[in-house]
Amino acid sequence: MPLLMLFLTSFGIGFSGALMPGPLLTVDIAESTRRGFWTGPILVLGHAIAELAVVIALAVGLLKFMNSDLAFKVIGLVGGLALIIMGGMMFYDILRNRLTLDDSKPASGSGLLIGKGITTSLSNPYWFVWWATVGSALLTKSLSHGFVGPAVFYIGHILSDLVWYSLVSFLISIGKKFLVGKPYIILISLCALFLLFIGATFIIDALK
């Protein structure tokens, strides 16, 4: 596979995956109401760190462990619990009346957002399944180009995430004026409910 085709394939498959609703998209929507456009790029930075760790893990031969039932169960249980805690904290902030769109109040720091980008990625067992199947297949094809191939594959994949999540943050930030008051509380509540649902789903699947 030529390098240009590898880049386009990686970008296209990555973009189709990014479009699917998940924990990272939920956090992006919730945080963008406070931080605006830069939420997407900062979250993707954390996501990129997690994905780089997975690419390195695949390169050193940890694919068998990542694709095992034990890994799926452990990641599902721990990750599901992490998402439930995150969703619960959102509801706690709502009950304590801590949520506001007042720009005079400080928003979450960049370090915290990077951490959320890493956490929401690592807490998703299906993210690992993707890397253990589709991701590893593409990575294997890229190895025919030496070290350049995996780099092109990784860049194409991360760019797809950067484009999508930045676009979501941009649309949320320009529409923030429509989210004042109850609409904002409803939006955050829906995000929290989705995290609780996804977290519970991960745990149930891990226990099956």
- Domain regions of the chain by residue span: 3-100+109-207
Q: What is the pLDDT of residue 106?
A: 45
pLDDT at res. 139: 78
- H helices of 60-179, in order, are 63-66, 69-95, 110-122, 125-130, 136-142, 148-174
> Block means of pLDDT (10 residues each) for the chain, length 208 residues?
85 78 83 85 93 80 64 77 80 72 53 88 79 76 82 91 91 74 74 82 84
CB atoms within 10 A of CB 23: 25
Which residues have a Cβ under 8 Å from the Cβ of 154 and sit 6 or more positions away? 10, 51, 52, 55
Q: State the pLDDT at residue 158.
A: 93
Query: What's the confidence (pLDDT) of residue 104?
Result: 42
The whole model's pTM is what? 0.73
In contact, 86 and 195? CB cutoff 8 Å: yes
